[in-house]
């Protein structure tokens, strides 16, 4: 399915009624229909996006590494209730540090319906590193190009359409502090979840010898866990010696996840809690 | 495919992955990272155009000054001193007004209770116990917090804190610790439990443990009111009026420097003994300076921090007030239980330049550091000399005149407050983060040992040389 540029770049009308449809739900999370993860580099205004969507007041600070624990909140859009989980801000998902492990395991084991990756419009190059890594794990991604006001002030022009086309997932420009573009963000998340926008994320090829190893392992993983969405990524993590993935493969947890018995977040919660602390 | 699926077992995949990993060699991770950077650079280059660099130049110019090897640290210390000076000058008067108001309420409410025929112990417990505990906490803590937190939040919002980490990095590396430890220290100023949680940003378990075990040497905001009060009524009072508040602010900066020195010293000690290992490198991003948004600062600092801390303090002060009142009013052998306990602790207290009442206050205040000073005052007042002394001057008269405090008592109490064991919340957080009773006990007992050792040395030195 081809994606139109319009839907990729979000809606350009400022006065569409979407704003009225976005409903902040704070922490009333008794019931929700969809699970959305919020990822991003530190200091990109991720917590501001979280607060603007949920109406919560998570502490926002201008220094890296502030959000180390998970925060959860809710928002409603067009009558659908979304649970938003704010993951720790990290520069990558490759290392063994705890914050990166928490994010990585959440994306794989809690299986959010959609993942918003917040990037800093003034430092795209550094931020895209994390986006590419998340695209390896999951297809359902919306890139939130935040701090557009700062980019404008610095005279940086960001072509959001080009970005969306190259990444293969929607990109929405926002200014979380003034809530600019947030209704668009919510709408795009809804579009991705309901399949109105199909994504085809870019997956760069590894160097030949790594690629060969991945191509050997991936079919084996698919055989053990039929329907797994990201066998290539699981293969790479196995090559990297990721203990948690080893465990999930050996215990059959991965196969269970892939067979569509989606782990409820309640079930994933304790898992993350156990592996998130030493 | 289905026959193949039946024939492959997960164990085989893991074994095969291990074999492939061995064949690939260690360099393949780097090639992945390179690939990601190349791709990110290509896409970003197509999507973003940055024409002029003037604004970045301004940021870089400011950064060159505030992170310069020569000016960086002095600027940091001056800023710190300025923050405390503003806090001390601004908090003094409102504190006295709130205290006067609340003690007026206590007196009249107690009289009304008696007039209404309530039993003496009920009046005592409710008004002279619980309410007085709350009144002390509110009047001593609220004004400094309402001034200190917004200023601190402005610095945080501007993006100054990572620059502090940058300035201090080389010191931590010398001590064998992680440079990001200065960020977790900065969190510790707000709350040590939060500082302990913030150590999750440190990758290496060894360096993370060091950061956890030493976070307590940063005075948290539960201890700042104690430090500010002591600095104001003892250190400040020892100087001419014109420079009193400056001297008080300077002494708090001095105490923080002592804390920083201890952090580095203990980190160094740990890396030489139980936590040997290499120092790991890290990249620290210096974020752009941002204009702080005033409304959010007010909200964050007043609601999230001030009210949060105050409510926590009040929640522990109320039962502590009741305990003190009971200890002060149950008599055995001609003296109250509080008197007995204080007398019992007195030899130890005087050895370290304090007294039994102060130590008793620290025991009662284990749940929360915020209530040490109020507890201490209530024990002093509850053991005979009933005074309501809301103003700092009267407080000074009470402590110096009737309980024999000296400048040594004040300095040692500041040192003890800086170094002693973490509050119950922090200890529990250390356990949750380390999952080890061994490290938790070390984190609780090591600072206590340092507190006694340092105050003992200071007291002994003063007695020997100061006469």
| Residue-range domains of chain A with CATH | 5-193 (3.40.50.300), 208-276 (no CATH)
Cβ <8 Å between A156 and B198: no
Give me the DSSP letters along A126-163: HHHHHHHHHHHH-S-EEEEEE-HHHHHHTT-EE-HHHH
- Spell out which residues of chain B touch residue A57, defining contact as CB-CB under 8 Å: 299-300, 303-304
Give the pLDDT band (50/70/90) at residue B189.
confident
- Same domain, residue pair B83 and B45: no
Report d(CA B321, CA B318) in Å as an integer: 5
- Same domain, residue pair B213 and B285: yes
The predicted pLDDT at position B392 comes to 65
pLDDT at residue B279 tops 70: no
Enter the ipTM.
0.79
Interface test with A, best of B44, B182, B434 (most A CBs within 10 A): B44
Decide if B343 contacts B356 (C-beta within 8 A): yes
The predicted pLDDT at position A15 comes to 42
- Inform me whether the C-beta atom of residue B57 falls under 8 Å from chain A C-beta atoms: no
Residue of chain A minimizing CA distance to B202: A97
- Same domain, residue pair B213 and B177: yes
Of B26-30, B83-87, B268-272, highest mean pLDDT? B268-272
Residue B244 resides in a domain: yes
pTM confidence score: 0.60
- Same domain, residue pair B263 and B361: yes
Mean per-residue pLDDT for B430-450? 91
Report in angstroms the alpha-carbon separations of B202 from A208, B128, B207, B395.
34, 47, 7, 44
- Spell out which residues of chain A touch residue B166, defining contact as CB-CB under 8 Å: none
CA distance, residue B225 to nearest chain A CA (Å): 23
Nearest residue, CB atoms, B13 vs list A127, A207, A224: A224
Residue B293: CB atoms within 10 A of its CB come to 15
Residue of chain B minimizing CA distance to A57: B300
- Same domain, residue pair B35 and B140: no
Mean per-residue pLDDT for B373-386? 65
Q: Which token pair is A236?
A: 């790479």
B242 against A197, higher pLDDT = A197
Report in angstroms the alpha-carbon separations of A178 from A49, A155, A174, B293.
10, 19, 9, 11
- Same domain, residue pair B98 and B34: no
- Spell out which residues of chain A touch residue B55, defining contact as CB-CB under 8 Å: 153-155
CA distance, residue B199 to nearest chain A CA (Å): 9
Cβ <8 Å between A132 and B198: no
- Inform me whether the C-beta atom of residue B31 falls under 8 Å from chain A C-beta atoms: yes
Instruction: Please count the residue pairs, one from chain A and one from chain B, whose beta carbons lie less than 8 angstroms apart.
Output: 191
The predicted pLDDT at position A11 comes to 43
Cβ <8 Å between B203 and A96: yes
Interface test with A, best of B1, B3, B5, B10 (most A CBs within 10 A): B10
Mean per-residue pLDDT for B232-237? 79
Residue B326 resides in a domain: yes
Cβ <8 Å between B285 and A157: no
- Same domain, residue pair B20 and B152: no
- Inform me whether the C-beta atom of residue A94 falls under 8 Å from chain B C-beta atoms: yes
- Spell out which residues of chain B touch residue A91, defining contact as CB-CB under 8 Å: 283
The predicted pLDDT at position B2 comes to 45
The predicted pLDDT at position B267 comes to 92
Total domains in the fold of chain B: 2
Name A71's bridge partners: A86
User: Residue B379 sits in which domain range?
Assistant: 73-466
Cβ <8 Å between A246 and B40: no
Residue B64 resides in a domain: no
Interface test with A, best of B43, B300, B306 (most A CBs within 10 A): B43
Q: Which token pair is A149?
A: 């006001």
Residue B246 resides in a domain: yes
Report d(CA A106, CA B364) in Å as an integer: 42
Nearest to B136, CA basis, from B92, B103, B170: B103
| Surface of A (155-184) touching B: CB under 8 A | 155-160, 162-163, 166-167, 177
Ramachandran bin of A60, using left for φ above 0, alpha for ψ from -120 to 50, beta for the remaining angles: beta
Residue of chain B minimizing CA distance to A206: B32
DSSP classification of residue B412: H
Judged on CB neighbours under 10 Å (0-12, 13-18, 19+), B246 is middle
- Inform me whether the C-beta atom of residue A58 falls under 8 Å from chain B C-beta atoms: no
- Inform me whether the C-beta atom of residue B384 falls under 8 Å from chain A C-beta atoms: no
Least confident piece of the model among A144-148, B136-140, B180-184? B136-140
pLDDT at residue B406 tops 70: yes
- Same domain, residue pair B345 and B426: yes
Q: Output the average pLDDT for chain B.
A: 81
Residue B68 resides in a domain: no
Angle (nearest 5°) at CA A197 between A100 and A77: 75
- Same domain, residue pair B439 and B340: yes
Of B12, B34, B49, the one marking the end of a domain is B49
Residue of chain A minimizing CA distance to B209: A278
The predicted pLDDT at position A59 comes to 53
- Same domain, residue pair B95 and B210: yes
Least confident piece of the model among A18-27, A122-131, B130-139, B240-249? A18-27
Residue B54 resides in a domain: no
Backbone φ and ψ of A2, nearest 5° = -80, 150
Angle (nearest 5°) at CA B37 between B35 and B40: 110
- Same domain, residue pair B309 and B364: yes
The gap between the terminal CA atoms of chain B, to the nearest Å, is 91
The predicted pLDDT at position A113 comes to 92
Nearest residue, CB atoms, A217 vs list B13, B47, B435: B13
pLDDT in tens, chain A (278 residues): 333 333 333 444 444 444 446 777 665 555 788 999 999 988 788 888 998 888 876 655 444 444 445 578 888 888 888 989 888 888 888 776 777 877 888 888 888 999 999 999 988 988 998 999 999 889 899 999 999 998 988 888 899 999 999 999 999 999 998 989 999 999 999 999 999 999 999 988 888 888 899 999 999 988 888 877 688 888 988 888 888 888 888 888 888 777 654 444 433 333 333 233 22
Least confident piece of the model among A16-25, A250-259, B43-52, B84-93? A16-25
Cβ <8 Å between A129 and B9: no
The predicted pLDDT at position B63 comes to 82
pLDDT at residue B284 tops 80: no
Residue B58 resides in a domain: no
Q: Please count the residues of chain A.
A: 278
The predicted pLDDT at position B382 comes to 60
CA distance, residue B308 to nearest chain A CA (Å): 13
B47 against B50, higher pLDDT = B47
- Inform me whether the C-beta atom of residue A6 falls under 8 Å from chain B C-beta atoms: no
- Same domain, residue pair B295 and B416: yes
- Inform me whether the C-beta atom of residue A208 falls under 8 Å from chain B C-beta atoms: no
Report d(CA A25, CA A53) in Å as an integer: 8
- Inform me whether the C-beta atom of residue A243 falls under 8 Å from chain B C-beta atoms: no
């Amino acid at each position: 399915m081809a994606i139109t540029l319009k839907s990729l770049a979000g809606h350009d009308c400022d006065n569409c009624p979407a704003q009225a449809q976005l409903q902040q739900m704070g922490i009333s999370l008794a019931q929700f229909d969809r699970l959305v993860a919020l990822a991003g580099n530190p200091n990109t205004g991720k917590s501001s996006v979280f607060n603007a969507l949920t109406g919560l007041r998570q502490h926002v600070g201008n220094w890296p590494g502030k959000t180390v624990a998970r925060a959860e909140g809710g928002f409603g859009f067009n009558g659908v209730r979304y649970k938003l989980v704010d993951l720790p801000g990290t520069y990558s998902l490759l290392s063994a540090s705890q914050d990166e492990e928490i994010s990585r395991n959440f994306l794989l084991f809690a299986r959010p319906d959609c993942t918003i990756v917040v990037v800093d419009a003034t430092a795209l190059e550094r931020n895209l590193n994390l986006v590419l890594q998340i695209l390896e794990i999951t297809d359902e991604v919306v890139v939130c190009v935040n701090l557009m006001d700062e980019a404008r002030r610095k005279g940086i022009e960001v072509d959001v359409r080009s970005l969306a086309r190259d990444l293969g997932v929607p990109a929405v420009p926002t200014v979380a502090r003034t809530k600019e573009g947030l209704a668009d963000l919510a709408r795009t998340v809804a579009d991705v979840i309901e399949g109105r926008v199909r994504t085809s994320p870019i997956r760069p090829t590894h160097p030949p010898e790594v690629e060969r190893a991945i191509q050997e392992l991936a079919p084996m993983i698919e055989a053990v866990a039929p329907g797994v969405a990201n066998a290539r990524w699981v293969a790479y993590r196995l090559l990297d010696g990721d203990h948690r993935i080893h465990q999930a493969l050996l215990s059959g947890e991965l196969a269970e996840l892939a067979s569509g018995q989606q782990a409820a977040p309640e079930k994933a919660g304790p898992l993350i809690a156990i592996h998130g602390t030493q | 495919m289905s026959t193949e699926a039946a024939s492959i077992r997960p164990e085989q995949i893991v074994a095969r992955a291990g074999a492939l990993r061995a064949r690939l060699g260690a360099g393949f991770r780097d090639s992945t990272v390179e690939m990601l950077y190349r791709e990110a650079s290509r896409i970003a280059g197509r999507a973003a155009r940055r024409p002029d660099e003037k604004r970045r130049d301004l940021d870089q110019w400011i950064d060159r000054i505030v992170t310069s090897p020569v000016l960086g640290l002095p600027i940091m210390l001056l800023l710190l001193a300025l923050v405390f000076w503003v806090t001390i000058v601004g908090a003094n008067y409102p504190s006295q007004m709130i205290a006067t108001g609340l003690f007026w309420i206590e007196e009249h409410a107690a009289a009304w209770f008696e007039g209404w025929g309530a039993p003496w112990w009920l009046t005592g417990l409710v008004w002279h116990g619980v309410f007085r505990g709350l009144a002390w906490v509110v009047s001593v803590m609220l004004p400094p917090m309402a001034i200190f937190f917004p200023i601190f939040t402005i610095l945080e919002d501007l993006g100054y804190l990572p620059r502090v980490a940058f300035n201090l990095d080389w010191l931590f590396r010398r001590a064998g610790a992680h440079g990001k430890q200065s960020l977790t220290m900065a969190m510790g100023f707000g709350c040590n439990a939060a500082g302990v949680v913030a150590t999750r940003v440190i990758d290496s378990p060894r360096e993370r443990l060091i950061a956890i075990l030493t976070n307590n040497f940063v005075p948290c905001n539960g201890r700042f009111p104690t430090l500010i009060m002591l600095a104001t009524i003892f250190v400040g009072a020892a100087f001419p009026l014109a420079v009193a508040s400056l001297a008080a602010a300077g002494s708090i900066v001095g105490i923080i420097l002592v804390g920083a020195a201890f952090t580095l010293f203990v980190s160094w000690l740990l890396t030489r003994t139980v936590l040997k290992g290499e120092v790991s490198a890290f990249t620290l991003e210096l974020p752009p300076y941002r204009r702080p948004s005033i409304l959010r600062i007010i909200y964050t600092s007043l609601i999230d921090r001030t009210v949060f801390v105050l409510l926590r303090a009040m929640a522990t002060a109320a039962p502590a007030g009741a305990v003190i009142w009971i200890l002060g009013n149950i008599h055995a052998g001609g003296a109250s239980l509080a008197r007995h306990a204080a007398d019992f602790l007195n030899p130890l207290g005087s050895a370290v330049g304090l007294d039994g009442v102060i130590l008793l206050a620290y025991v009662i205040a284990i749940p929360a550091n915020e209530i040490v000073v109020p507890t201490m005052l209530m024990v002093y007042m509850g053991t005979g000399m009933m005074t309501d002394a809301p103003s700092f001057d009267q407080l000074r008269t009470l402590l110096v005149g009737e309980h024999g405090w000296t400048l040594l008592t004040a300095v040692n109490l500041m040192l003890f407050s800086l170094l002693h064991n973490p509050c119950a919340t922090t200890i529990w957080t250390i356990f949750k983060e380390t999952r080890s009773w061994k490290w938790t006990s070390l984190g609780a007992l090591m600072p206590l040992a340092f507190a006694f050792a340092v105050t003992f040395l200071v007291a002994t030195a003063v007695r020997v040389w100061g006469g």
